[in-house]
Amino acid sequence: MLAPKELPIEYYNWNRENGAPAGPAWWSRLLRIGYLWEGIAHEMAPGVLAWRYRFRFPRWVMRRLGPFVFQQNSRTRAFEYPYCYYATPLTQGMRVVDIGAGASGFQFVLAESDISVVSVDPLENPSETVDWLFTPQDFQRINRAFGARVQVIRDYLENAKLESDNYDRVFAISVLEHIPECSVFSLMKEIRRILKPGGLCVATVDLFLDCYPFTENITNQYGRNISVHRLVEESGLALKSGDRCQLYGYREFDKNEVLRRREEFLTWNNVMSQCFVLEKAAQISE
């Protein structure tokens, strides 16, 4: 499915409760303060200073701000985060892997729900205009503020050496489209390997309206449109949930229909969000 413009009420409430997708409203206003002040250096603007020193805040301030203030992302996350939380049943004691999470708050929300979380990310900067880099010490400051329950592995999933058939869920929130094509399919096979039989991969994938098949451009500064159908085929997983008419790569996908209905979908900077769930086949009893 493509993320709709109108959020379900439970998604709206989830965002409000957790400060998603980018922290409380007053924090966003603070980050903007100073940029329009004449005669004040950009580097000394209150918002710039708050952002620069966010990892140094006392723990009680971090908790007051919530777990989503430490990494800026697209506004489409207003749908993606609660979608990934509600798309499948989550219960205490589950083991999950969050791929490419960076300093995103989603992993901490999961951990505070008594879910065992492994965060796997090589922490490579996606572009010169988006600073997602932070030190291991920075991450651990956030982690301690929210209970120190997240295990972080700073590497690619293929190098993480996670146990086979061991995880109930794998989350990939707007990450697959940024991975080179030569690597993303091996990543999907690795996801299948680590999932338990019957385990689920919950994913969102950006749909760029300034890239093929909507324009002649193959890529933009963030990535390219990747065939969800091929992702599924290469992974060996099955599409459990997702509208093929709204997932690029399936023959049912119609770019003209997507553009015709554009006002119905959540769009930010020419980006929509494709959301779907993949399932690993359960073992057959002999």
CA distance 88 to 75: 22
Q: In this predicted model, which residue has the larger pLDDT, 46 or 44?
A: 46
Indicate the range of 30-39, 169-178, 233-242 predicted with least confidence: 30-39
CA distance 192 to 200: 9
- CATH number reported for the structural domain that contains residue 221 in this entry: 3.40.50.150
- In terms of DSSP bridges, do strands 271-279 and 195-208 run parallel, antiparallel, or are they unpaired? antiparallel
* CA count, 13 A, side-chain hemisphere, 10: 6
Mean pLDDT within 84-110: 96
Confidence of residue 124 (pLDDT cuts 50, 70, 90): low
CA 69 from centre of chain: 14
- Provide the number of structural domains found in the chain: 1
- The CB density around residue 146, as the number of other CB atoms within 10 Å, is 19
| 246 within a domain of the structure (yes/no) | yes
CA distance 3 to 267: 8
- The CB density around residue 78, as the number of other CB atoms within 10 Å, is 22
Q: Which of 1, 140, 174 is nearest to 72 (CA)?
A: 174
| 109 within a domain of the structure (yes/no) | yes
Look at residue 39 in the predicted model and tell me its pLDDT: 45
| 198 within a domain of the structure (yes/no) | yes
Query: Domain limits at 264?
Result: 9-23+66-279
| 140 within a domain of the structure (yes/no) | yes
Question: Residue 128: pLDDT above 70?
Answer: no
Q: Is the dihedral of CA 238, 83, 27, 267 positive or negative?
A: positive
Look at residue 125 in the predicted model and tell me its pLDDT: 52
Look at residue 221 in the predicted model and tell me its pLDDT: 83
Q: In this predicted model, which residue has the larger pLDDT, 135 or 195?
A: 195
| 165 within a domain of the structure (yes/no) | yes
Mean pLDDT within 163-183: 93
Token digits of residue 178: 């940024």
Indicate the range of 27-36, 65-74, 193-202 predicted with least confidence: 27-36
Question: Residue 20: pLDDT above 90?
Answer: yes
Confidence of residue 129 (pLDDT cuts 50, 70, 90): low
